[in-house]
């Protein structure tokens, strides 16, 4: 691990000294990540990353984002860069991203983002009519619109996600059914 000016982190340097003293061949950076973040699995593939740490930190608050295609592409690229770095897989190794995801056992971040959005949508739908969150979802801005194409709204994103997964508002009233329906795409 390096700090922002490129110097080796003192914890990493300490681990490096201890590992070299013991004569064990390990990637010290991966050891440091596993100690400090707890993101490595305990099975044979010691460099596999748990999806809940990486994806949950990247998608914090994403339930209410009006996500566009370029946002999804940027998230996927950033996630794969981090996963490849943590697993020690370089682009030169020519492993497709899908294969790396399968080996590590994580889902595509676009699908996880969709699930988060639909889970929040169900929560908002089940609120009472006078709840402020539901009022915000149904609010229409009055007055003249600015020139150009309007920005994509959260409702449009939810509508597209529901159409892609063939969901409707009635399905959202049953919790177990809704969860099953939004996870079926995997």
Query: Is position 1 within any domain?
Result: yes
Query: Is position 129 within any domain?
Result: yes
Residue 12: count of CB within 10 angstroms of its CB: 19
Query: How far apart are the C-alpha atoms of 34 and 47, rounded to whole Å?
Result: 9
Query: Is position 97 within any domain?
Result: no
Query: Is position 170 within any domain?
Result: yes
Q: Phi/psi zone of residue 6: left (φ > 0), alpha (ψ -120 to 50 degrees), beta?
A: left
Q: Which residue from 61, 41, 52 is spatially nearest to 117, judged by alpha carbons?
A: 61
What's the confidence (pLDDT) of residue 52?
60
Query: Is position 74 within any domain?
Result: no
Query: Is position 76 within any domain?
Result: no
Q: Chain-centre distance of CA 79, in angstroms?
A: 8
For residue 157, CA distances in Å to 47, 117, 151, 161 come to 35, 9, 11, 6
Pick 126 or 42 by higher pLDDT.
Answer: 126
Token look-up 């899908």 returns: 98
Q: What is the pTM of this model?
A: 0.67
Query: Is position 59 within any domain?
Result: no
**Residue 125 reports pLDDT greater than 70:** yes
Query: Is position 55 within any domain?
Result: no
Least confident piece of the model among 9-23, 111-125, 133-147, 149-163: 9-23
Number of domains in the chain: 2
Question: What is the band of 101 on the pLDDT scale with cuts at 50, 70, 90?
Answer: confident
**What average pLDDT does the segment 165-171 reach?**
87
Question: Hey, is 49 helix, strand or coil?
Answer: strand
What's the confidence (pLDDT) of residue 97?
87
Determine the structural domain holding residue 6 and report its residue range.
1-38
What's the confidence (pLDDT) of residue 118?
92
**Residue 100 reports pLDDT greater than 70:** yes
**Residue 155 reports pLDDT greater than 80:** yes
Q: How many residues does the chain have?
A: 186
Residue 101: count of CB within 10 angstroms of its CB: 18
**Residue 82 reports pLDDT greater than 50:** yes
Model confidence over 12-22: pLDDT tens digits? 555 566 555 54
Q: What are phi and psi of 35, to 5 degrees?
A: -70, -45
What's the confidence (pLDDT) of residue 16?
60
């Amino acid at each position: 691990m390096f700090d922002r000016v490129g110097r080796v982190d003192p914890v990493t340097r300490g681990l490096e000294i201890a590992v070299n003293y013991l004569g064990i061949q390990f990637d010290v950076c991966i050891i440091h990540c596993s100690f400090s973040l707890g993101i490595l699995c305990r099975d044979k593939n010691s460099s596999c990353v748990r999806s809940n740490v990486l994806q949950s930190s990247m998608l914090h608050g994403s339930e209410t984002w009006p996500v566009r295609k370029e946002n999804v592409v940027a998230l996927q690229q950033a996630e794969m860069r981090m996963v490849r770095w943590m697993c020690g897989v370089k682009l030169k190794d020519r492993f497709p991203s899908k294969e790396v995801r399968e080996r590590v056992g994580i889902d595509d971040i676009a699908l996880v983002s969709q699930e988060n959005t639909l889970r929040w949508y169900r929560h908002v739908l089940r609120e009472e009519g006078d709840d402020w969150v539901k009022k915000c979802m149904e609010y229409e801005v009055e007055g003249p619109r600015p020139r150009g194409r309007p920005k994509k709204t959260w409702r449009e994103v939810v509508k597209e996600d529901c159409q892609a997964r063939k969901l409707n508002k009635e399905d959202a009233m049953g919790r177990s059914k809704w969860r099953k329906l939004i996870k079926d795409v995997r």
